[in-house]
């Protein structure tokens, strides 16, 4: 069946003058949202391999070239810093240019040569500084999580990897021991009203699940391939049963209903005549399915937001991801071209000295340092 032939599960009024009930409207609304989220999820699944391929074949090689050019530029600056042609004021500017780039490059490359240059101009060991910063941020994250969730992450939290940090936090939030010695407080005794509500919710969940089972059993009754002697029809039913089993394993009620429409086991009139009491359980299943789709898409978006330096509340679409990568790729290409031009233009120390006269070291406020640290902490998204 072509995608254009897909049977849409949608309840229509029996008559033009008749209005849909609240349950029918909710069924249509949930179905529309689920269809939209399915398309979004499918777009993500198609986009991620393309994005990963572009990262590996286009972006990463450019970043390596950029790192190489930055290292050549650092070597040239280091060479000029030690020449007598450059005086005290010149050397201060050169040191600023070196330090402005050296820390990032030491983090990116991690080579002993870059770390040695950092040590030369910063007067401290890069690895020791990184460890100190990680400890400070780790302590801040532990305090933040303790205040927000009353969860003790312990001393082994890995803040250098957002993925590992999220996994550790999720494990703690799901009920793993936090390391405390205090016994959890006993749950308060539930009232008759609360117990009745819980019993009613359990019953509704069971009935909702039974509704899906009924649709599944009706499909199996007419599509089971073992009961079909005709070879061509046996093959058709085998393919349909695979789709039925896949939909049932995912509790995909809409897909099961679409299959019923496809094989003409039911029609749209059948849906319109369905009692609200039954639609109530269908809607419960659809709500759960929509929530699952929302969570799956949210997790995919979140995994890309950190490297893009996006806040957790901002939506990210697959097309935007590719656009961000194209912009980042173009920026890296521009940086490479700019560095090559600088290295060639300042090949003579006299030319570089003339340019230094016009260069002013930009002022960096304490607020900038606070903002940098805040971004590193808030980017972990501890929701």
Helix (H, G, I), strand (E, B) or coil at 150: coil
Helix (H, G, I), strand (E, B) or coil at 73: helix
* C-alpha to C-alpha distance for 230 and 362, rounded to whole angstroms: 81
For 222-258, the DSSP string reads: HH-GGG--SHHHHHHHHHHHHHHHHHHHTT-HHHHHH
- If pLDDT is split at 50, 70 and 90, which confidence band does 170 have? low
Structure tokens belonging to residue 226? 């073992």
Using a pLDDT cut of 70, give the percent of the chain over it. 77
Given a cut of 60, whether residue 369 has pLDDT beyond it is: no
* C-alpha to C-alpha distance for 136 and 313, rounded to whole angstroms: 26
Exposure string over 80-115, b if 16+ CB within 10 A, otherwise e: bbeeeebeeebeebbbbbbeebbbebbeebeeeebb
DSSP-assigned letter for residue 140? H
- What are 32-78's pLDDT values in tens digits? 999 999 999 999 999 999 999 999 999 999 999 999 999 999 999 99
Q: What is the pTM of this model?
A: 0.71
- What are 267-298's pLDDT values in tens digits? 777 788 888 888 888 898 899 999 999 999 99
- Read off φ and ψ for residue 174, nearest 5 degrees: -80, 0
């Amino acid at each position: 069946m072509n995608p254009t032939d897909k049977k849409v599960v949608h309840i229509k009024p029996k008559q033009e003058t008749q209005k849909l009930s609240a349950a029918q409207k909710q069924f249509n609304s949930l179905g529309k949202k689920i269809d939209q989220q399915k398309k979004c999820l499918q777009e993500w699944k198609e986009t991620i391999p393309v994005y990963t391929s572009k990262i590996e074949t286009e972006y990463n090689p450019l970043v390596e070239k950029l790192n190489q050019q930055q290292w050549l530029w650092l070597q040239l600056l280091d060479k000029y810093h030690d020449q007598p042609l450059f005086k005290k004021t010149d050397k201060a500017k050169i040191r600023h240019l070196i330090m402005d780039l050296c820390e990032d490059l030491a983090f990116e490359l991690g080579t002993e040569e870059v770390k040695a240059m950092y040590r030369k101009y910063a007067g401290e060991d890069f690895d020791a500084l990184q460890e100190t910063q990680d400890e400070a941020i780790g302590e801040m994250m532990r305090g933040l999580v303790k205040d927000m969730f009353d969860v003790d992450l312990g001393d082994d939290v890995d803040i250098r990897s957002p993925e590992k940090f999220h996994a550790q936090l999720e494990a703690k939030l799901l009920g793993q021991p936090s390391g405390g010695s205090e016994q959890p407080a006993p749950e308060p005794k539930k009232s008759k009203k609360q117990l009745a509500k819980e019993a009613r919710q359990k019953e509704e969940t069971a009935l909702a699940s039974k509704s899906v089972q009924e649709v599944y059993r009706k499909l199996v009754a007419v599509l089971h391939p073992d009961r079909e002697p005709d070879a061509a029809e046996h093959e058709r039913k085998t393919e349909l049963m695979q789709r039925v089993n896949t939909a049932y394993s995912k509790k995909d009620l809409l897909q099961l209903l679409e299959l019923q429409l496809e094989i003409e086991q039911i029609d749209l009139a059948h849906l319109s005549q369905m009692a609200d009491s039954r639609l109530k359980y269908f809607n419960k299943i659809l709500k759960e399915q929509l929530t699952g789709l929302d969570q799956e898409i949210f997790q995919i978006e979140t995994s890309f937001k950190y490297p893009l330096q996006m806040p957790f509340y901002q939506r990210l679409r697959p097309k935007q991801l590719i656009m961000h990568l194209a912009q980042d790729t173009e920026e890296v290409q521009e940086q490479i071209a700019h560095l090559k031009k600088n290295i060639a233009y300042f090949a003579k120390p006299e030319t570089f000295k003339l340019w230094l006269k016009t260069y002013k070291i930009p002022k960096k406020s304490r607020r900038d340092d606070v903002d940098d640290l805040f971004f590193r902490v808030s980017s972990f998204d501890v929701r």
